[in-house]
Structure 1
Amino acid sequence: MNPPLIEVDGLCLSVNGVPDHSIVRDVSFRVNAGEIVGIVGESGSGKTMVARSLMGLQPPAITISGGDIRFEGRSVPAMTGKELRALRGARLGMVFQEPMTSLNPSMTIGEQLDEPLKLHAQLDANARRARILDILLRVGIRDVQGALSAFPHQFSGGMRQRIMLASTMLLKPALLIADEPTTALDALVQREVLELMLEMVRGENTALLMISHDLPMVARYCDRIIVMRQGVVVEEGPVDEIISRPREDYTRELLHSMPVRGANRTIDRAVDPVIEVRDLEVEYRQKAGLLAPKTMRKALHGISIGVWPGEIVALVGASGSGKTTLGRCIAGLVPASSGRIAFTGSEVKPDEPIWRDYRQNCQMIFQDPFGSLDPRMKISDIVEEALRHDRQATKSAKQERVRTVLEEVGLGERYLDRYPHELSGGQRQRVAIARAVVGRPKFVIADEAVSALDVTVRAKVLELLADLQRRYGFSCLFISHDLGVVEQLADRVVVMRDGAIVEEGDRDAIFDTPQSDYTRALLSAIPTLTRTETGVSLTWRFAQDGNATAETRA
């Protein structure tokens, strides 16, 4: 047998070398040449720290306090700085979680791709340029010549991730480490990026170590899974064995935290909808260049939808489809160019008496809770701020309502005097939900409210949101690119593409018998999930020929 490409034996990572402050303890695993291995676990499990330590890129305060890492038989911790620099890029490559922060915003794409070739490849300028153009074509960049002189901010998230992959694969490394490579991407782009990555690593016989909390994606593409929790390896084994017959309770908890289809509910549509949108259009003014005249770009094209009392309507589609623009326009945060919005049967117009009532009854949960919570305000003040226009309630009544809603979202009084930075991501999202529902609104817009959360926290937040919706009966427009979450929560689904509605209907009809090819393409990127007595069964929808399912892992 050939020796493993990389061996991790008893790895311990600690803060400033203090054993009592360890964040990774006794981690051991192997990755063979050409093998695809996934490391999964919740946020804080130590996945990223282990991945970074393989390249000697852990933060300065984090030191290796025990164990060893051997790459091609050589100890990585024992390498000098010069040896590590020769190894990184040439033999070890890494695709980071957020490409916008790992690409240099002040350098063109051409300069950033040329840099590793100058350092590690003995090629002249013409040969380097030819290799760069070839790799850009392979990752799906259409205008490769234009891309060389463009900057990272001129590309979408999916395109930036492709460029990061191109930069990493230029030198054909022996091991590629992908740290949450698709977290912020929608289902279609996520699948395209992952399949492109696999095509490239298999073509070069490169080993792939994929770090993710997305178990279905790992189960689809990896040969073997390593499950981590609180800095230790809980379980390891072949993919089929882990998802169908997990040995550990924690692995079963992870698997059972993945969303499954919720029960059908009866919605009374004989009454007026809470929110009705008719022929809504939004245009943005944009400039093509410094001296170019301003032009108008239409973001929404004649959108018409309704949301009835107690109904959860999911808005899905690829990034840039207009989902968030529609949600913000309904909330009054983006002006409409034309069309009308009606609230409980009456048209809503700014500067009219209905506007104040509408804004109090239309609340929004934003995608990034840390960015939407004032860091200078205590949690009690943040939640109470939503009641500032309630002139009938006294100060003490408002404070009591704040305490009640914090209890309802699972936080309690001990969080009243804390600040946002003292809370975890899941706790901050609970605060954002509390702020949205404390005024007992009739309509809530949830914009990617759980996209940044790991599986177990996401499951708890979704359960909380569904419980509050049943308790208070508010209607909800749920904006998401996570179709698994939509399948669990929604009563009805609206599919958007390029600012227009492609298809809409009841949840089961959309997921089981979609009429649009675009909807089928979206749904084929996610699995159907069936819980079994011992684990889960993942079945992938809609094969390319449109007949049976694409593949099954059980």
Structure 2
Amino acid sequence: MSPTAPLLEVRDLTLAIRATDRTVVAGVGFAVSPGEIVGIVGESGSGKTLAARAVMGFVPPAVERLAGSILFDGEEITTMAPKRLRAVRGARVGMVFQEPMTSLNPSMTIGRQLEEGLALHRGLDAAGRRGLILEMLRRVGLADPVGALDAFPHQFSGGMRQRIMLASVMLLRPALLLADEPTTALDAVVQRDVMELMVDLIKENGTAVLLISHDLGMVARYCGRIVVMCRGEVVEQGRSDEILARPQHPYTRKLLAAMPLRGPVRAFAEGSTPIVAVRDLVVDYPGRQRFFARSEPKRALHGISLDVKAGEVVAVVGGSGSGKTTLGQAIAGLVEPGGGEILFEGKPIARRESGYRAYRLNCQMVFQDPYSSLDPRMTIGQLVGEPLRLVKDLDAAARRERVAEVLAEVGLTDGFAERYPHELSGGQRQRVAIARAVVRRPSFVIADEPVSALDVTVRAQVLALFLELQKKHGFSCLFISHDLGVVEQIADRVVVMNEGRIVEQGPRDVIFDAPRHAYTRKLLSAVPGLESTRDGGVRLFWRLAQATSP
């Protein structure tokens, strides 16, 4: 291969489902040069993951290739013998998957899993393999590499598992790395750390990267070129800065328009009684029982105090493990506090107090994963109507009417009431979860990462729906999220948490434009700010790029 030739070249790739002959990838073509980072972006179902997996010959058995060529380093992948293809996988082409917990073997130690590829492709002895593994684990930031060798995947956080997955791939120094949504489930700081680590490793080895993502901001930051896919086709490709600033295709403009932008400022009366107030809230999780002893309890919340005014959206942000979800669950009554108090409309509430029932009926929760929070045996109509069973002044006909009304509000008409959760898309299931929360017309809603699992356009639709319902019904909201772009669009005030403590809180614009605490600056430095351009695109700018860790 000549120095100027692409390392990977995909030409007119067409894939279809065997049983139905439905084309899922149609005439896709792109190239990746040595040392280049190219991003493929698009919504769920656009075919970007299938196109990338075809490079490694990982297309599912139900999918067949109808046409096209995949050249890697001058060799044709589509006609490569199985033995040669196995030699190329891992050693020459590596892949980092979206969810490391499902791609790491839960029954094998980290050491054994990292050793497999070296034993298969490098031919080193045990001592040589151990030395390379320990060096790579230190390189990816594990504090105790020796201890990690005998640990299992479930003993690490999501960010650490992704680092381990990256280490297992980069140990073999591949010429091409396929990264499929490598940071989707991670918070902003961990996402940046993993991406910066990946960039450092590929620069050291001269590795080319094909990065698959629906996060245009992240792709624009790290990729020199972008390939935009829609319904199995490439609709636009070119330099990242040009596509973001001057998108040519309507679908690209649609993606960029769906990226969160700062919403208008709303004013709230000073000194009014908060709808919900938390004072010095403490939550302790008991230690684990091990043989005849129990480990020390872990304090998840250290004296949290905050107010939520009537009609206000207060966002709680912070990294994974900061206590955001525990705070929401404690306020909702799903976790028993170890100290402090919760006040509803100025009155203390507790499980044994007379006002607790009224508070719980007025406090509803939207969970992060609607699929696991919706009973698969119940229809959508039954699920949305379930909270109305405790409303005494509604008869059966009135309940059915209320259910139909709220399903129409969230855009689920035309027979959706008779469907089951598995028949709905992720965005539709999230609409059902929101409908369940608002069907009782509560005064307070807790939304725990309600859009974290959705792609960019569906996320924009759900956020617009949420804001419309909040404006229409006037409920207050505690909005828990690690997506600072979403928070900037939806929040009136922001509460920043770290290690179970509030480190800073205030009006949204003050927090985003003039953060005081070092941890807040660290969070904001990890995500881009966005501004619309006259050509229908966006301009990315980086806040507090020189922020340091606290």
Coarse TM-score class (shorter-chain normalised):
over 0.9
Task: Report the counterpart of residue 541 of structure 2 in structure 1.
Answer: 539
Structure 2 residues without counterparts, runs of 5 or longer:
none
**Distance in 2 between residues matched to 1:341 and 1:176, nearest whole Å:** 50
Task: Report the counterpart of residue 151 of structure 1 in structure 2.
Answer: 152
CA contact (8 A) 2:236 2:248 kept: yes
Q: CA deviation at 1:76?
A: 1.0
CA contact (8 A) 2:380 2:420 kept: yes
**Distance in 1 between residues matched to 2:350 and 2:313, nearest whole Å:** 24
Task: Report the counterpart of residue 136 of structure 1 in structure 2.
Answer: 137
**Distance in 1 between residues matched to 2:342 and 2:232, nearest whole Å:** 51
Q: CA deviation at 1:287?
A: 2.0
CA contact (8 A) 1:268 1:309 kept: no
Q: CA deviation at 1:62?
A: 1.0
**Distance in 1 between residues matched to 2:178 and 2:305, nearest whole Å:** 44
**Distance in 2 between residues matched to 1:291 and 1:36, nearest whole Å:** 53
After superposition, where does 1:478-497 map in structure 2 within 5 Å?
478-497=479-498
Q: CA deviation at 1:391?
A: 1.2
Q: CA deviation at 1:399?
A: 0.6
**Distance in 2 between residues matched to 1:519 and 1:137, nearest whole Å:** 27
Give deviations 1:393-431, integer Å, cap 9, x for gaps.
001101100000000001114201000010000000000
- Misfit runs of 4+, over 6 Å: none
Task: Report the counterpart of residue 41 of structure 1 in structure 2.
Answer: 42
Q: CA deviation at 1:443?
A: 0.2
Shift in alpha-carbon separation, 1:89–1:289, aligned structure 2, 3 A? farther
After superposition, where does 1:113-512 map in structure 2 within 5 Å?
113-287=114-288, 289-512=290-513
Q: CA deviation at 1:17?
A: 7.2
Task: Report the counterpart of residue 112 of structure 2 in structure 1.
Answer: 111
**Distance in 1 between residues matched to 2:417 and 2:499, nearest whole Å:** 42
CA contact (8 A) 2:522 2:547 kept: no
Task: Report the counterpart of residue 530 of structure 2 in structure 1.
Answer: 529
Q: CA deviation at 1:266?
A: 1.0
Please say which of residues 283-292 and 488-497 is displaced more in the overlay: 283-292
SS of 1:141's equivalent in the other structure is: coil
Give deviations 1:433-473, integer Å, cap 9, x for gaps.
00000000000000000001011110110000000000000
SS of 1:56's equivalent in the other structure is: coil
Q: CA deviation at 1:80?
A: 2.3
Q: CA deviation at 1:201?
A: 0.4
Q: CA deviation at 1:151?
A: 0.3
**Distance in 1 between residues matched to 2:433 and 2:133, nearest whole Å:** 45
SS of 2:442's equivalent in the other structure is: coil
CA contact (8 A) 1:406 1:413 kept: no
Letter in 2 for 1:453: L
Shift in alpha-carbon separation, 1:410–1:17, aligned structure 2, 3 A? closer
Letter in 2 for 1:8: V
CA RMSD of aligned residues (A): 1.1
**Distance in 1 between residues matched to 2:541 and 2:235, nearest whole Å:** 25
SS of 1:388's equivalent in the other structure is: helix
1:10 to 9, 12, 23: 12
SS of 1:164's equivalent in the other structure is: helix
CA contact (8 A) 2:525 2:547 kept: no
Task: Report the counterpart of residue 97 of structure 2 in structure 1.
Answer: 96
CA contact (8 A) 2:282 2:304 kept: yes
**Distance in 2 between residues matched to 1:536 and 1:545, nearest whole Å:** 24
CA contact (8 A) 2:303 2:501 kept: yes
Give the TM-score normalised by the residue count of structure 1: 0.97
Give deviations 1:172-200, integer Å, cap 9, x for gaps.
00000000000010000000000000000
Shift in alpha-carbon separation, 1:17–1:175, aligned structure 2, 3 A? farther
Shift in alpha-carbon separation, 1:22–1:545, aligned structure 2, 3 A? closer
**Distance in 1 between residues matched to 2:547 and 2:311, nearest whole Å:** 38
**Distance in 1 between residues matched to 2:387 and 2:106, nearest whole Å:** 37
Letter in 1 for 2:471: R
Q: CA deviation at 1:288?
A: 7.2
Letter in 1 for 2:494: V
Task: Report the counterpart of residue 63 of structure 2 in structure 1.
Answer: 62
Q: CA deviation at 1:2?
A: 2.4
CA contact (8 A) 2:521 2:547 kept: no
Q: CA deviation at 1:60?
A: 1.1
SS of 1:416's equivalent in the other structure is: helix
SS of 1:426's equivalent in the other structure is: helix
**Distance in 1 between residues matched to 2:287 and 2:219, nearest whole Å:** 40
**Distance in 1 between residues matched to 2:212 and 2:61, nearest whole Å:** 21
Letter in 2 for 1:238: R
CA contact (8 A) 2:55 2:70 kept: yes
Identical pairs, percent: 61
Letter in 2 for 1:5: L
Task: Report the counterpart of residue 551 of structure 1 in structure 2.
Answer: none
Give the TM-score normalised by the residue count of structure 2: 0.98
Letter in 1 for 2:13: L
**Distance in 2 between residues matched to 1:325 and 1:246, nearest whole Å:** 42
CA contact (8 A) 1:375 1:421 kept: yes
CA contact (8 A) 2:451 2:459 kept: yes
SS of 1:367's equivalent in the other structure is: coil
Give deviations 1:237-285, integer Å, cap 9, x for gaps.
0011100011111101111110010000011243211111001000011
Structure 1 residues without counterparts, runs of 5 or longer:
547-554
**Distance in 2 between residues matched to 1:441 and 1:269, nearest whole Å:** 23
CA contact (8 A) 1:17 1:63 kept: no
Please say which of residues 345-354 and 215-224 is displaced more in the overlay: 345-354
